[in-house]
Every structure is written in structure tokens, then in C-alpha cells.
Chains A and B, each alone.
Chain A
Amino acid sequence: DAKTTQPTSMDCAEGRAANLPCNHSTISGNEYVYWYRQIHSQGPQYIIHGLKNNETNEMASLIITEDRKSSTLILPHATLRDTAVYYCIVRVAGAGGGADGLTFGKGTHLIIQP
């Protein structure tokens, strides 16, 4: 699976859009970009995933650059409950080759300020 690089931490004011960047310059053509988040001492929660087109769901939007080497997760109206560690993961969808699991790095600690 391709390696990802994320900032260690970010702040965002409540009610503003939170934009979380992720670099994945070694991504290959059949690898998807997944985003999960983990609120302190809980299990991670799936947010969104995409291949090359921008995606939107009820939680967030995912913007993937045309060369697919980076992406941005957007939380349109951040609330205090969005404070969490956000993980950007790149992997082949489905079983793929090798161990069938997700490789979580250290992620970005997003802190929403009141």
C-alpha cells in the first residue's frame, strides 16, 4: 500500500470548514483513498473513500487532485464533536494482495475551537 503523509495537528474554528490535507505521491492506479477518524478512546469510524473523482456524503467531501498524488478531506461546518484524529489511508479496494487490512499511520489530530 502507498504511504501517506499528513500534518500532525490542525486547529479549526467551530462552524468553519475544516480542510485536512493528505499526500500520497506513490499511489498506484488501482489504489483508493480512504478516510477514517477516531475520537479519543473509541474505535475508528469510516468517513469516505474515492478513486479519482471527487466524492461527497453526509459527513464530508473528498477532493482528489488530477494526478491523484494528494487529497483533501473537507468537513463543511465543523462542530466540537468533530475533534478527533483523522487518518488518510491508501490501499487497493477489496482483498488486493497481501494482508487484507488497513494501514493506519499517526493521522492528523484535528482540534475544533469554540
Chain B
Amino acid sequence: DGGITQSPKYLFRKEGQNVTLSCEQNLNHDAMYWYRQDPGQGLRLIYYSQIVNDFQKGDIAEGYSVSREKKESFPLTVTSAQKNPTAFYLCASRRDASSYNEQFFGPGTRLTVL
């Protein structure tokens, strides 16, 4: 089956630790995105990548880092500099960033920092 996978579904970490969230897609999509969702709120864009080896900051990039070494993978690291990391994190992909196509979302990772 084609799609986007995020792992793990639930993640617990101690305050001050860096943590990396996985996002993999086998849709052969060029563009990938990371969003954060807080309870009762909409999604906010953290980082996005329109092509391999390139990525751009979104609206709330502080305290986060990403890499895009492979087309199918776009991991997100939540660093200790992120002041309020507990949230629901969603990864998405799009066929390419220049046409009228929709974003496909993964199932999300719920991160809780204790």
C-alpha cells in the first residue's frame, strides 16, 4: 500500500532530551511537510521541503530541525530548545510543490515531554 508512515504513534521523553520523529512516504512525492497541532487548535507549519537536500522554515521552526537526505524520508528533531514540545505532530507530502495537488497526511505522532 502507498502512503505516509509516522512512528511511533506515542512518544514520551524527559525534559531536556532531543527526540527525532520519523516520517516516511512511498508515494514518490517531491514535497514533504511537518506540522504541529495543539489541543483544540488548527495545524501550524514547522518545516517543509520541496525537493531532496533542500528545506525551508515554516511559521514555528524555532527549537526544531529537519533533514531531507532521501526523497522518501523527512525526519523531525525536537530539540531541548523547544520550550513547549508536547503536541501532536503531523507529517504530510505532496506530489510536487508547483501544481494543484493535495497534501496527504500521516497518522501523526503524539509527543509528551515529562
Task: Please list the residues of chain A having a beta carbon within 8 angstroms of any beta carbon in chain B.
Answer: 32, 34, 41-46, 49, 87, 93-95, 99-107
Contact = CB atoms under 8 A, between A and B. Distances in A.
Contacts of A102: 43, 45, 103
16 contacts: A41-B88, A41-B110, A42-B108, A43-B92, A46-B102, A46-B103, A49-B100, A95-B97, A99-B45, A100-B33, A100-B97, A101-B33, A101-B45, A102-B43, A102-B45, A102-B103
B35 interface: yes
Interface of B: 4, 31, 33, 35, 40-45, 48, 50, 56-59, 88, 90, 92, 97-100, 102-108, 110
A101 B4 CA distance: 17
A43 B40 CA distance: 14
Given A95-B50, A100-B48, A101-B48, A106 B41 contact: yes
Given A99-B45, A99-B59, A100-B50, A43 B98 contact: no
Contacts of B99: 93-94
Q: What 7 pairs across the A-B complex have the smallest Cβ distances? A: A43-B105, A104-B42, A101-B45, A46-B102, A104-B43, A93-B100, A95-B97
B45 to A, nearest CB: 4
A45 B107 CA distance: 10
A44 B98 contact: no
Contacts of A42: 107-108
